Structure formats: structure tokens, C-alpha cells
Structure 1
Amino acid sequence: MIDRLEPLVIRHTFRVPLPTGPVGEGAIAARQFDAVLLSVGFKLSPDLMERLAGLSQETVVRIAGRTLRTVRELVGDHVRHNSYFINFPANVPATEDFWMACVTDALRDEKTRAGTLDQLWTGVVNLLSLPAYGRYQHTYAELLAAQDELIAAAGDRLTVLHPGGELADELASLYLVLAGSTTPLGEEHQRDLRALAERCVDGPQPEAIPVRENRALVNQARLKAGSELLLDTATDVLRLACALSDGDVALTEPTRFRSLPRTVRRALLAGLDSVVAANPAKLADVHAHREEWKRLAERLHPHEYPRWPHAAEVFAVARGERKAPSFDGRVEELLAEGDLLGAVKLLKSAPGKLFRALDRLLRTALTQEERDAVVAAAEQVAPEVSGRVVLSVREHLHNRARETGELRVFVNRRGRAWVIDDARSVVGPVERERLIVALDDETRRRLPSPERLLVDPEVLDVALPLSGKATAAGLGVLPRGSLSAVEGELLRFFVYWKETERRTDFDLSALMLNADYSTNTWLSYTSLTEVEGEHSGDIVEAPDGASEFINLRLGAVRGAFVVPQVNIFAGEGFEEVEESFFGFMLREGEQLGRPFEPRTVRMKSELRGAGRVALPLVFLRGDDGRWRAKWLHLHLKGSPSANRVEENRVTVANLLRGIVEREQLTVRHLVELMSGEGTTVTLWDGEGVPEGGPVTYIGLRHPDELAEGSRIVTIENLRDLIPA
């Protein structure tokens, strides 16, 4: 159990859970532990080093083994990263020369000579038929022997680990944080919450679980433990049923419901009955997921339980045997009749729906009276709307100041993105500004008012994590839309994948675009070398795992954008492979080293999502010549097979323009709102020790020097900034 749950604490908090004993002489083992950590870009904080030194040597060794496994996986160093070209990035041949060399090798091989000659006569050669193409020609050990050692540099990444408490206490604290999150969690965090809820179901619980998906996972644990379920809508029961079948608790993807034990069926039907009995109007919620309810009825057999007649009404509504006018339907009827004021009055009873409909209502309004009524209603119900919805609408309204005719980008919960022309009429500037002022006032009211606020300047351009779906699991990963500085001469991307059953070919590419989003050039398996850099070579199968790299000299890059992408050429998708991840490294010009060096990894994220083309982030060159990364976490549908950078570059360029030119709400926005009367804001780059007692600190990394009692917000718990 420790081996399974302890990594959760390290991944989420960069704290190492520590036992209270036994006391011993662990100083030597702690120093050795620290030295090994440095090789993968991690380090023990002084406090953690001191705590470990006071434990027994055997205890330190056990902690070191578990921690090293976790941080190696975090950075992507738990697998072997081989490269097709053994000396990469040196001695990478021109594409045509490499292909000719593969053909020559095939002609020398008696087994493939005849087939290759036949292909040459037709004028088309299948690269996959050439023995030397796409398959490693050397072992990982031979690669290591051919590469020079990495030269240490001041710019190498260094992630500091801090001391934690007893594992049970750390797990309980992490459970409260995840279960009580005010924003939806990503896929990995949902898995972690599921595991933590099962362990912590009998312990302290959060005051509220505002996110419905989180509530479903907690209810799953409560059901197993025989505790009272947390239900106040019929949809809560449906989400719980999805959780019990390992389905999608967000209800965006269909769930194949499993056969359920009689005790579970009774619990679900009893909960459903109590919800509807307390408020029959809740039956209106059924319409949104009618097909799911009908499929669930096949597993619950509600006709066998006449004692819960209100539960049976839910399925009658789903089958169309009973009418239950939906809230949304009533709103649509009023709008269709031209009664906008009536629709606004009705929507005031559902503040969240009113906020989500504001843009449409303002565009529908024909008179100033109607526009004023929409704004007044929003101002009135704003205190009842969740903080993330308030901030989402604020961001939306800010971007609606742009002219019509721009591109409109859509991104679903699974990261699938598409672009259309924005044909919406404008929102009146007076109403837009009035709403922005109201939303800022409401956000300011909910934010804390610390006496001293200490802010790392690097965190100011990080986008607010309004949803965990807008990011990916990994190390150094920022929410979609965030900007971060890129410091270093050499930029190197990498992708790793391991197929599950079928031959799977991922292709790493980098598209270089001009300032007007037109194509400049690209690096891929069809273009191994360019002025900008080198490609490590195409790998076409990965039964034991495979890696591809692209090496770029930033000073030589032509154009204003570099767009790394991972294309699925053949085989399993991102959600089917056993493992897949993407990342990038930054190095100084003379560092050398292996193709993959964990100390130089700045970011590593899991590749999971719908679609056959992944766009993790884009690199932008500013007017000052400096490069920054903007985080995307997007997927394109692509083709079923043979996806290539040449084929999707127009789609990528259009999508990129829509994303780059959209302005996200960032940490800077909340810092400005907190900078009111009574709060002193100081930008702190980490140099020197702040004096004057506890502070509230917001930054990318956990500092060591802050006074006891300080509140610390970093990337790992940035969602705590989003007010409830």
C-alpha cells in the first residue's frame, strides 16, 4: 500500500512523507541519496536532509528507493531512450542520402534484394520493407558508449524535495484538497482521488465537494464503505453509476454499464427515489442524458423494486412515457416567443446557466431595456455563481472586444480542438465593460486579503487553472494558455511510446511558421536536417518502447513560431498504447550528453487524448528576440492513419492563430485584484530572505526561506487560488 500511495504525495506536493522513527545515523545515506537525485535534476531541501539524517540508515535507503522511482518516472527517466542515429544530433544524414543508404543495404541482403528490385522497377519503394529503416540498428548500451558525458551547467533544472509528515497525514490532507477542489480535475488526478477516497472515507471530509465529478468518485468509496451517499440531483446518481463501471463521470463519453450486485442496485435506486421525492422538479434533469438513463435501467431493473416509485419516474421520463419539462426547454420556448425578459427572469433561478447564456442574451436583446435587464440580472446573481464560472465569463468577455471575422476556437473536455470563423455579432461595449467591472468586484470580494503578498514574476503569465481538463499530467506542465520563458541555446523535444498489442508508429515533427502563420519549414522523418536542427530518425514500431528527438538551435530558427507535434502514422491511439509522453529539454551550446538527459528536462507530460495528432505547446519568438512557450494541450482528429506534418500544417496554423491571439486570465489578474488597500505586493525572484514574518507566496517553485506560518501557492496547488 505504501509503494502505491506514497508516490501520490510526492507527485502532487514534492514532499517526501517521513516516519517519526526509528532514530539513527542516516546522514551518509542521505548524502548519497541527494547525489543520486542530482543526476536526475532533483535535490533534497536542507530541512529534508536534516530530517533524513536523524533516521536509521535502513529507513533512509527504503525512502530513497521509493522516491527515486517516483521522480524518475516524473521526468521520463524510468525508460531507456534510444535514438536511431547513434551519434545524434551529430552525423545526421540528409533525408535522401539516408533513404538511399537503406535501399543499398536492402540490395545487399539476399532476403530482400529481389523484392527491393521489384519496387525500384515500379518507381516507388516502401520504406517499411527496408530492413535498415525505422528499427534500431544498435543497443542502448552502444548508444551510451558513443555519447560524451553531459557537462553540468548552471541552467540545468533543479527541483527541490521538501519534508512531509507521516504518510497517513499526508494522504488525508491530499484527499481533502482534491475532493474539495473548486475546479474539475484532470484524468490522473481523478484516478488519485478515487484511490484516496477509498482510503480516507472514514476520516475527515471536506466541508463541500462543489465539483460533481469529484462527488461521484467520493460516493463510490462511500457506497463501498456503507456510508451515506452525497446526492442532491438525479444526475449525481448517474455519475455514480458511471464511476462504478469505470466510465466517464463527466458524462461526455458513453459508459458501458456493468452488471451490478443487488445491494448496489438497491442503494442507487433508494438514492434516486429520495432525490425525486424531495423535489419532483429534479426530473427535468433526466432529459440531458436520456440514452444513458435508458441503458442504466437495463442494469438496475427498477420494475423489481416497487417500494421506490419516484425512482421509476426517472426512467419513465427517459423513455418518454412521462413529461417533465426541462429547464433549458422552458428557456428556449420563451426566447422563441421573443420574451427575453421572461427568459432572464427564469434564468435568475439558475445563476450558473444565466452566466453561461450571457453572450447569447446580450446578442438577442433588441432594446436597451432588455440589455440593461440582462446585465442587472447578472449583477444580482453573481454572488451565487461559482468562482471558476465567474472567471471563465470574465475571460470570455475580455476577448469579445475583438473585431468580428476572427477565428473561433473550440476545445472539448478531452482536448479535441477545432476552428471556425466567428460570425457572432458584437457584444455592446457599454454592457461588456459594466459586466467586467461587476465580475472583478465579485472576484475581489471572494479573494483573501493578505497583509503581505510575495509573488515570483515568472508565475504572473501562468493561466488560471479553471479546469484540470486544460492541462496534462507530468512535470513542469502549465495550464493551457500559460506563457513561460525559454532560456537556453539548444531546444530538444522528445516523444516516447510503447505499444500494447499492434505495431504502432508515432512521428515527432516540428513545424516552423512565419509571423503571418504561413509555413517556413519543418523537421520530421521526411526532412531530417534543416538550418534549425536535426531529427533523430524515424522509428516505426515500439514493442519494447521507442523514442524520437528533434534538436533545434534557437538562434538559427527562421520564423516566429515553432510548433512541435506528435502524429500517429499507424497503430494504436494515444489512449490505447501502454505508455506515451512528450517533453522538451534545454541545454547550453557545449553541454553535449546523451539524447535524453533528465537534468535538462524542463517539461514532461503524458500524451492522452482523443485524436491522431497531439499539439502539446508552441514556442513563440517575441519582438525582443526572446523565446517563450505557450501551452496548448490540444489534439486534432487527424486521419485514421498516415498523419504527417505536411498534411495538417494549414489546420495547425489556423488553430494556432486562434489560440495565440486569445488572451487568457492569468495569475497576474488575481494578483492585481488582491493588491488593494491593506495588502503589500512584492515581486521576489528568490534572492535574499524576506523579513517580517509570515507571507502569502505565489510562485512556480516552493522556496525554502519563508517564515513559518506562510501560505505557499505553487503550480502544484495553483487551483487553490480559484475562489469557491
Structure 2
Amino acid sequence: MVHPLEPLVLRHTHRLPAPCGPAGQGGVAARQFDAALMSVGYKLSADLLAHLSALSEGTVVDTAVRTLDTVRAMAGDHVQHNAYFIDFPANVPETFAFWTQCVVDALADGVTPEQLSPGVVNLLTLPAYGTYQHTYAELLAAHEELIAAAGDRLTILHLGGAPDDEVTALYLALAGSSTPLGEEGLLDLAVLAGHCVDGPQPETILVRENRAVVNRARLDAGADLLLDTVTDVLRLACALADGDVTLLEPTRFRSPSRRVRRALLAGLDSVVAAAPAKLADVPAHREAWKRLGERLHAHEYGARWPHAADVFAVARGEKQARSFDSRVEELLGAHDVLGAVRLLESAPGRLFRSLDRLLRGCVTQDERDAVVAAVERVAPQVAGRVVLSVREHLHNRATKGVEQRVFVNRLGRAWVAPDTRPPVPATERDRLTTALDAEIRRRLPAPGHLLIDPDVLDVALPLSGKASAAGLGVLPRGSLSPVEGELLRFFVHWKQTSRTTDFDLSALMLNAAYETVSWLSYTALTEIEGEHSGDITDAPDGASEFINLRLGAVRGTYIVPQVNIYSGEGFEEVEESFFGFMLRDAEQRGRPFEARTVRMKSELRGPGRVALPLAFVRGDDGRWHAKWLHLYLKGHPNANRVERNRVSLATLLRGIVERDHLTVRHLTELMADSTTSTTLWDGTTVPDGPVTYIGLERPEGLHPDSHVITLENLRDLIPA
């Protein structure tokens, strides 16, 4: 029987749980399966091909059908990518000529001149504008078959273990992650948690959002809950209401069953009974607690669970429980830095997050020394991702820096503000960075023989799953990756849910001073750099837009693709939306969309009306690199377009590009010492013995006892 979570495992790990079935002569079918995979940019590993070849032909065919469906969706090939201009990128007209022709066609189709607004033409009212003028089959017939090239993407699918073992391993990896997961990761964890609730569990679940998702599964199964703060109970209540377990967005609580109500109140009561000081966490989410209390009918159970009743009394203001943060604020307001440091030492994570502010508040050297000494004392108690985040922050505070400061929240919403902070004193900064590096080095495992793919060295450390997006070949925000190819083609696909929705793909070209050079969009269909595929304004069955760029012709230093919502549903409302890019050789022909040339495909699921997935940067040597952004701008309610946001976008881009992110290179340098053998992998042969391999994808032929870290589990690099 096929495991129902096989697609989920394949998507997260690029491992196919070992198919089982009757033995047979499946070699021919397996090779055909391999060929079909290669047509969409995937390939069977040697071990997986051999395993399938020993099974019956029917088993191989069934495996191929369901696997192809999964990997095609991973690359964005599960939909029909039509283009407005059937010959795209050839024969794209000049913008004004195209608009004029649309008016001429409208008049020929019976639209009278009187029906056109005097002096103004609304393109959306023209019959030939914004809707496909040909079928997808006609587009396919108009294009030659793709010419294979050595640079085409080839993602290896590896042989996994028994299906149940693979599912359990993935559950343990996600639940026990040392960094927060993205939206898709949390949804997948919820599915896995329900399936694995009676099986092995992580020793600890450090990330509170993960704990909430796991607790929901445990509550459904009648298992004991994992609670040690009152906020754990609030997050669980949000999970039960299918709300936001990060507590960033308000959750509309539903009236739970009596069993669930009792479980939540009993859990809350036990937490406060064990540590009454934890009532101080309630005011931070006062309104949410009040709304939850109404749904739990907490007033009816005050006698049975008095400590739980205290939580809601604090939320209503009937009982005082001074928050930890208010005590810190009082001390800092009185300029008592030493007192604030002593208090913050009892909450090491908060001390780390307050470090910059504490140093700015210091007047004397004794105060600065006290702050640094406190950080050194509590560092072993702080989560690894927090230590690394502060280390990155200090690196970027070496000088006063740029005049603008970029803020990005956990949803990817970005904004810019003036940076008026003085620099962190060099002596304290150097002492702190040395201490933090020593602490991370202490926590990192001895890697033995370290084998590194050089392309992974400039990948930013995934300190949060919120700094990335789900998809294929997606790197964390701040990462740099080389772009090898002569033709760069972006694409966006969306399918509206219920309202007419118009997404617009655009690309802005900037010079080294972040000044506009040119752009491609529906208002500029052609430029020296390339072509736009045409504007689609309605997507009931899904729609795609493309931009084709000749990198050698680009006149700027930066290329910034963006997706603007002109009208209709947002990124989180549409049924589906994703962005990606392809790379091709100059002479490669084919359809506008070819899965094997896709280097990256990223889901668009964020706030705001303008999406900025990544930018492309030309180095001093003339080579291009992708700089990963994963940002969303608020934009306007309607009519967003590249011309309106290019100034704010340039300011934002400057802040991101000029910030240094901690990368894999930093951790591998901390790992490497006199007892470690380090090899940069040349892409061909691998060592015979076990290694710790760190790279973008797992190569074939690694020793079975090797420890492998790739994009799929890059978070494992972050020490707990």
C-alpha cells in the first residue's frame, strides 16, 4: 500500500520512500520513468533506479505516475503556462503600437468611437486586451522542442528507507527544528504530528509555534500536553481555531467542546500553580486572553481551577501581574543600566535581544563592562539561532552605516526608517563577537572529514523559516547564488479564487547608485534588455506572465523582478500563486515555460500588494548573482505598478544589499580546526569514507554513514 504522506516526504527531502511490491523485471519501465523525470529536470539516483528495476513493471508505473505529479508541482509544471503573445519572446510589439492595434481591433469588432472615453482609452475595456487570444495547444504548436543543454537543471531523487521510517524522521526533524518553520512547514508539521502522535517524539521542542502544532495533535489523541508557559496554552488555543500560532495576527476563537475546554483550563491552571510569576506573561496578549476567556467560560470554573481564573483576571485588569518588560523599561527609564542587566540575566534570551539598547544606554566603561560580562555568563543558556542573530547584528553595527535602516517582520513585510543610532563601541563589539563565536564553536559537532560544495558557502544561515518561502531551489533571505546563463526568464502564475484578479510581472533595472535605468512591464513591453510576454488581467483558470532578459545587454547593476497586484485578490487570497526564474543558453529554443530550465520556484504567500522575491546583482567581474529577498511591500490597494514604487524599492534594495548576513561559510570556518580535514568538492568524485557533506544538493556515491546537510535540512546547521 502506498503511504499517504509519500508526496510530503519527497517534497521536503528529495527522497522517495522505498517503493514496495512484487519482484519483477521493471528495468525498462524504470528507465522510461527516469527519462520522463529528466524532461522536467529530475533524475533517479543509481540506487533508486536499481531498486525500481527489481520490482514489477506495474509497481514501477504506479510509482512513476504519482512521483511525476509531485515533482512537476515542485517545479511549477503542473499548470499550463500560456503567454499573451504566442511567439514570445519573438515578435513582441512595441507598447504603443500594440495598444493602438487593440483600439483598431475594437473598432473593427463593432465598438463605436463614442464608446471610448474622450482623450482616454481604458485598456481593460478593449476586447483584445488582457485575455488569451489563443489556446495553450496553439502556443505549443508555435514553439520548437526545447534544445537540451549541459546547464539544464537536474535534481537527483534519492532512495529512501521504509515509508513509515521516512515519515517519522521528517516529523522529528520538523518538530525538533531549532529555528521557526515557515507557513508551509507548520502546515506539514500539523499533518505529520497527527500521523505520528503515537510514535517517537523529539527530546525537546524548542520552537513554541512547533509545540503548539504538536500539542493540538496530542490533545486530539488524548495524550499529555507539553506546556510550561501560559503562552503555550494561548498558542494551542489558536491552533485549535486554525488561527495564527505565532500570535502576530488576531485569531477568531471558536467555542470548543467541553473536553477541550477542560483540557485548556487544566493545563493553564497547572502552569500557573507551578510558577505564579508566569502570570506576568499575560499582559503581552491581554486582548487575546480576554477573547479566549469568553469562549472557555472561565468564570464558570474559577473554583475548580483558581490559577487559571487568575490568568483571565489579569487580562481583565482585575488583578495585577507586572510584566517583566515593564520592570526592565522602568530601570532603563531611570538610566539604571546595571539594574536592568541584573534583571535581564534571569531571562538570557531577552538580555541578548536588548544588547544593543543596553550598550547605547551605557555612560561609563564600568557599565559597558558589566553588559559584556553578563552576555558572556549567560551565552550558554541562549538558543543558538539567537546567538547567531546577535552575532550578525553586531557585525553590521561596526560603523554608523547607511542612512536608512531596513525592518522586516516575520511575515516578510518590509519598511525603511532613518538610522540615527550611534555605532557600537569597537572594543565591546570585538569582545562580544569573539565570545559569541567561541560559544557557537563549542556547540558545533566535530564534523570529521568536512566535504563542502563551494556554491553553498554564500547561503545565508536559515535563522528563521520566516526568512524564506516554500518552493524549489529557494534560499534564505540574504543569500547569494551564482547565475550561470545568457538568457534569464522570470515567470509568475496565479489563479484567482472568486474575484477578477490582475497580477503584473515587472522588472526594474538600476545602476550602481540605485537609480532607475529602465524597466519591463505591461507599460514597457520591449527594451534593449528583453521582452515582456503581455498583460493578463483575469485568471479564472490560471494565468502566467513572463519577462525575458539578455543578461549581456542589461545596462544596469541590479535587476529587480517584482509582482504587483493591480486589482483583485491578494497573495494570501488567490487559490494559487508562485514566482520563479529560468536560465537558458542563448540558442536554446522551447516553450515560454520549460521545467528543466527552472532554477527556482517560490510560493507567493505574504502580506502587502507588491512581492519582491529576489534581485540580481552584477559583480565587479561582470558575473551575475541572485540576492534573495522574500519581501512584501504594502503598496496601494489597487493599480500598483513599477513606476509608482521604484523609488521606495531602490531605497529598500540598498539596505538589503549593503547588509552582511551570516552565511554557511561562517559556520564551516568555525567547524574547521586542526583535527578536521576540509575538502571543497569539485563536483565529480567523493571520498570513500564517511564525511559531513554540506551543499546545495546531495551528490551520488556518498558513504552511507555520511552526515548530509543540503537545502532541505539546512536548519540542522543551527546548533540548539
TM-score by length of 2: 0.99
C-alpha displacement of 1:201: 0.4
C-alpha displacement of 1:337: 1.7
- Residue 157 of structure 2 is aligned to residue 161 of structure 1: yes
- Residue 452 of structure 2 is aligned to residue 455 of structure 1: yes
Matched letter for residue 175 of structure 2: A
Matched letter for residue 49 of structure 2: M
Matched letter for residue 668 of structure 1: R
Which is worse superposed, 326-335 or 204-213? 326-335
- Residue 696 of structure 2 is aligned to residue 700 of structure 1: yes
Matched letter for residue 189 of structure 1: G
Cα–Cα, structure 1 residues 411 and 101, in superposed 2: closer, same or farther, change >3 Å?
same
Check the 8 A contact 2:508/2:559 in 1, yes or no. yes
C-alpha displacement of 1:98: 0.1
Match of 2:357 among 338, 360, 367: 360
Cα–Cα, structure 1 residues 580 and 477, in superposed 2: closer, same or farther, change >3 Å?
same
Match of 1:278 among 251, 274, 281: 274
C-alpha displacement of 1:685: 2.2
Matched letter for residue 127 of structure 1: L
Could you list the per-position Cα deviations for residues 408-440 of structure 1 after superposition, in whole angstroms to 9, with x for gaps in the alignment? 110011100001111111211100010000000
Matched letter for residue 310 of structure 2: E
Instruction: After TM superposition, list the pairs within 5 Å mapping 1:244-393 onto structure 2.
Output: 244-305=240-301, 306-393=303-390
Matched letter for residue 309 of structure 1: P
C-alpha displacement of 1:113: 2.3
Q: Which residue of 1 aligns with 2:471?
A: 474
Partners of 1:163 and 1:70 in 2: CA distance: 16
Partners of 2:517 and 2:654 in 1: CA distance: 15
Matched letter for residue 323 of structure 2: S
Q: Which residue of 1 aligns with 2:394?
A: 397
CA RMSD across the alignment = 0.9
User: For 1:123, what is the secondary structure of its paired residue?
Assistant: coil
- Residue 192 of structure 2 is aligned to residue 196 of structure 1: yes
Matched letter for residue 557 of structure 1: V
C-alpha displacement of 1:97: 0.3
Partners of 2:109 and 2:58 in 1: CA distance: 56
Match of 1:507 among 504, 509, 512: 504
- Residue 164 of structure 2 is aligned to residue 171 of structure 1: no
Instruction: After TM superposition, list the pairs within 5 Å mapping 1:686-697 onto structure 2.
Output: 686-691=683-688, 693-697=689-693
Could you list the per-position Cα deviations for residues 161-181 of structure 1 after superposition, in whole angstroms to 9, with x for gaps in the alignment? 011112111100100000000
Could you list the per-position Cα deviations for residues 632-691 of structure 1 after superposition, in whole angstroms to 9, with x for gaps in the alignment? 000000000000000000000000000000000000000000111211111112222323
Partners of 1:689 and 1:643 in 2: CA distance: 50
Check the 8 A contact 1:404/1:424 in 2, yes or no. no
Check the 8 A contact 2:459/2:475 in 1, yes or no. yes
Could you list the per-position Cα deviations for residues 231-283 of structure 1 after superposition, in whole angstroms to 9, with x for gaps in the alignment? 00000000000000110100000001111101000000000000000000000
Matched letter for residue 214 of structure 1: N
User: For 1:530, what is the secondary structure of its paired residue?
Assistant: coil
Could you list the per-position Cα deviations for residues 556-604 of structure 1 after superposition, in whole angstroms to 9, with x for gaps in the alignment? 0001000000000000000000000000000001111000000100000
C-alpha displacement of 1:4: 4.5
- Residue 122 of structure 2 is aligned to residue 126 of structure 1: yes
Q: Which residue of 2 aligns with 1:24?
A: 24
User: For 1:381, what is the secondary structure of its paired residue?
Assistant: helix
Q: Which residue of 2 aligns with 1:215?
A: 211
Which is worse superposed, 275-284 or 296-305? 296-305
Instruction: After TM superposition, list the pairs within 5 Å mapping 1:79-94 onto structure 2.
Output: 79-94=79-94
User: For 1:706, what is the secondary structure of its paired residue?
Assistant: coil
- Residue 490 of structure 2 is aligned to residue 493 of structure 1: yes
Partners of 1:558 and 1:9 in 2: CA distance: 43
User: For 2:112, what is the secondary structure of its paired residue?
Assistant: helix
Aligned length: 719
Partners of 1:539 and 1:23 in 2: CA distance: 51
User: For 1:568, what is the secondary structure of its paired residue?
Assistant: strand
Q: Matched residues, percent identical?
A: 73
C-alpha displacement of 1:404: 4.7
Instruction: After TM superposition, list the pairs within 5 Å mapping 1:632-671 onto structure 2.
Output: 632-671=629-668
Check the 8 A contact 1:3/1:66 in 2, yes or no. no
Check the 8 A contact 2:19/2:52 in 1, yes or no. no
- Residue 612 of structure 2 is aligned to residue 619 of structure 1: no
Check the 8 A contact 1:500/1:577 in 2, yes or no. yes
Check the 8 A contact 2:19/2:63 in 1, yes or no. no
Partners of 1:534 and 1:115 in 2: CA distance: 33
- Residue 68 of structure 2 is aligned to residue 68 of structure 1: yes
Partners of 2:46 and 2:526 in 1: CA distance: 45
User: For 1:177, what is the secondary structure of its paired residue?
Assistant: helix
C-alpha displacement of 1:20: 4.0
Q: Which residue of 1 aligns with 2:112?
A: 113
Could you list the per-position Cα deviations for residues 127-146 of structure 1 after superposition, in whole angstroms to 9, with x for gaps in the alignment? 00000001100000000001
Match of 1:606 among 603, 607, 610: 603
C-alpha displacement of 1:54: 1.1
User: For 2:5, what is the secondary structure of its paired residue?
Assistant: helix
C-alpha displacement of 1:334: 1.1
User: For 1:534, what is the secondary structure of its paired residue?
Assistant: strand
Which is worse superposed, 681-690 or 282-291? 681-690
User: For 2:702, what is the secondary structure of its paired residue?
Assistant: coil
Which is worse superposed, 468-477 or 55-64? 55-64
Could you list the per-position Cα deviations for residues 324-369 of structure 1 after superposition, in whole angstroms to 9, with x for gaps in the alignment? 0111111111111221111100100000000000000000000000
C-alpha displacement of 1:114: 4.4
Partners of 1:368 and 1:405 in 2: CA distance: 27
Cα–Cα, structure 1 residues 552 and 405, in superposed 2: closer, same or farther, change >3 Å?
closer
Could you list the per-position Cα deviations for residues 293-321 of structure 1 after superposition, in whole angstroms to 9, with x for gaps in the alignment? 00101110011212001000000000000
C-alpha displacement of 1:19: 3.6
Partners of 1:6 and 1:381 in 2: CA distance: 43
User: For 2:341, what is the secondary structure of its paired residue?
Assistant: helix
Check the 8 A contact 2:406/2:417 in 1, yes or no. yes
Check the 8 A contact 1:404/1:425 in 2, yes or no. no
Check the 8 A contact 1:404/1:423 in 2, yes or no. no
Matched letter for residue 151 of structure 1: I
User: For 1:705, what is the secondary structure of its paired residue?
Assistant: coil
Matched letter for residue 277 of structure 1: A
Check the 8 A contact 1:186/1:469 in 2, yes or no. yes
User: For 2:243, what is the secondary structure of its paired residue?
Assistant: coil
Partners of 1:315 and 1:352 in 2: CA distance: 26
Could you list the per-position Cα deviations for residues 191-250 of structure 1 after superposition, in whole angstroms to 9, with x for gaps in the alignment? 000000000000000010000000000000000000000000000000000000110100
Partners of 1:113 and 1:702 in 2: CA distance: 63
- Residue 627 of structure 2 is aligned to residue 630 of structure 1: yes
Check the 8 A contact 2:504/2:535 in 1, yes or no. yes
Match of 1:412 among 409, 412, 431: 409
Matched letter for residue 527 of structure 1: A
- Residue 529 of structure 2 is aligned to residue 559 of structure 1: no
Check the 8 A contact 2:400/2:422 in 1, yes or no. no
Partners of 1:616 and 1:332 in 2: CA distance: 37
Q: Which residue of 1 aligns with 2:523?
A: 526
Q: Give ranges in structure 2 of 5+ residues lacking alignment.
A: none
Partners of 1:451 and 1:314 in 2: CA distance: 50
Q: Which residue of 2 aligns with 1:225?
A: 221
- Residue 131 of structure 2 is aligned to residue 135 of structure 1: yes
